[in-house]
């Protein structure tokens, strides 16, 4: 399954990028998680925050496979160890791209290359809509949405 989402955000690419990678941005849009990474191709990344294992729960981790600041980030991701005992076998690729369109930014997310029988595939499809909507709202207003979760 390939998931593809396109959002138009009323902001410059740098503002959207800041929301996607900065501790302040990710903490707001990814439910309290911070993205830890050197942002160098071939090196690890992890979204870490409150969860099953306390405040330092690893929710998603993997390897950066493409990176161009303010433009594109691609990574191979795995669910955190507290979610599935076979987390290392479960993976997909996430690619964010930002394109300037007039005075707006087009954010495209493609989530593909899913491992066979990945148990998170179906729930991820609906969760991305919430996360991407939250990114748009946060960048445009400085506030996040309350999904009641």
Q: Which CATH number fits domain 3-141: 3.40.50.300, 3.40.50.10440, 3.30.530.20, 3.90.1150.10?
A: 3.30.530.20
Domain boundaries, the chain: 3-141
**Residue 146 pLDDT:** 86
Residues 26-84 pLDDT 10s: 999 998 999 999 999 999 999 999 988 888 999 999 999 999 999 999 999 999 999 99
Closest CA to 120 of 84, 94, 66, 75: 84
Residues 139, 11 contacting (CB under 8 angstroms): yes
Res 130: pLDDT = 92
pLDDT of residue 117: 87
147 pLDDT higher than 90: no
**131 pLDDT more than 90:** yes
CA dihedral (50, 136, 108, 104) positive or negative: negative
């Amino acid at each position: 399954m390939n998931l593809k989402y396109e959002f138009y955000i009323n902001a410059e690419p740098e503002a959207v990028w800041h929301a996607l990678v900065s501790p302040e941005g990710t903490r707001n849009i990814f439910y309290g998680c911070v993205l830890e990474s050197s942002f160098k191709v071939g090196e690890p990344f992890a979204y870490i925050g409150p969860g099953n294992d306390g405040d330092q729960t690893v929710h998603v981790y993997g390897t950066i496979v493409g990176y161009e600041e303010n433009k594109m980030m691609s990574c191979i991701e795995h669910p955190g160890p507290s979610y599935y005992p076979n987390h290392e076998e479960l993976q997909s690729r996430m690619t964010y791209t930002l394109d300037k369109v007039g005075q707006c930014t087009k954010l495209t997310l493609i989530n593909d290359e899913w491992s066979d029988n990945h148990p998170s595939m179906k729930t991820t499809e609906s969760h991305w809509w919430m996360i991407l909507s939250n990114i748009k709202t946060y960048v445009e207003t400085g506030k996040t949405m309350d999904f009641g979760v």
